[in-house]
């Protein structure tokens, strides 16, 4: 196991997550996560970032460059990433989806059906539509 594999395994254990749950959160496969933990492969920059976001630790921590699992500064995320994370967290909080579960087309269709009339009303209140 390399530094990344060790840190990845330790972080999963500390957050009570398994490889499959992380794979779903990072949009990859359980086999890929297993290969990283076993030191058989290393992630590309994009997947490393996705894993660090999913685990809420810095990439430097996962790579063994620091011993502090510093949470990601949400201010460093783009406004769209911040909004997406806030929406996702709220959907988990209310039980619409489980933590680590991907939002499916079915989920989105239900949300659109429920939210569309509410958004029309909000736009009306903001004097954006008449």
Cα–Cα distance for residue pair 124/47, rounded to 1 Å = 41
**Helix residue spans in 15-104 (DSSP H):** 19-25, 30-37, 45-55, 59-62, 79-93
Calculate the average pLDDT of the chain: 86
Residue 89 has pLDDT above 80, yes or no: yes
For domain 3-72, give the fold: 434 Repressor (Amino-terminal Domain) (1.10.260)
For 9, the token pair is: 């395994």
Residue intervals in the chain for CATH 1.10.260.40 = 3-72
Band of pLDDT at residue 36, cut at 50, 70 and 90: very high
Given a contact cutoff of 8 angstroms between Cβ atoms, the answer to whether 72 and 52 are in contact is yes
């Amino acid at each position: 196991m390399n530094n990344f594999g060790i840190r990845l395994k330790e972080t999963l254990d500390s957050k009570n997550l398994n490889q499959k749950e992380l794979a779903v959160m990072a949009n990859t496969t359980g086999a890929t996560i297993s290969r990283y933990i076993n030191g058989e492969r290393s992630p590309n920059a994009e997947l490393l970032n996705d894993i660090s976001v999913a685990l809420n630790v810095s990439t430097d921590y996962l790579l063994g460059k620091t011993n502090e699992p510093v949470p990601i500064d949400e201010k460093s995320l783009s406004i769209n990433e911040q909004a997406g994370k806030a929406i996702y967290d709220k959907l988990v909080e209310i039980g619409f989806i489980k933590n680590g579960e991907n939002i499916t087309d079915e989920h989105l269709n239900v949300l659109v059906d429920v939210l569309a009339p509410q958004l029309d009303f909000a736009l009306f209140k903001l004097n954006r539509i008449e």
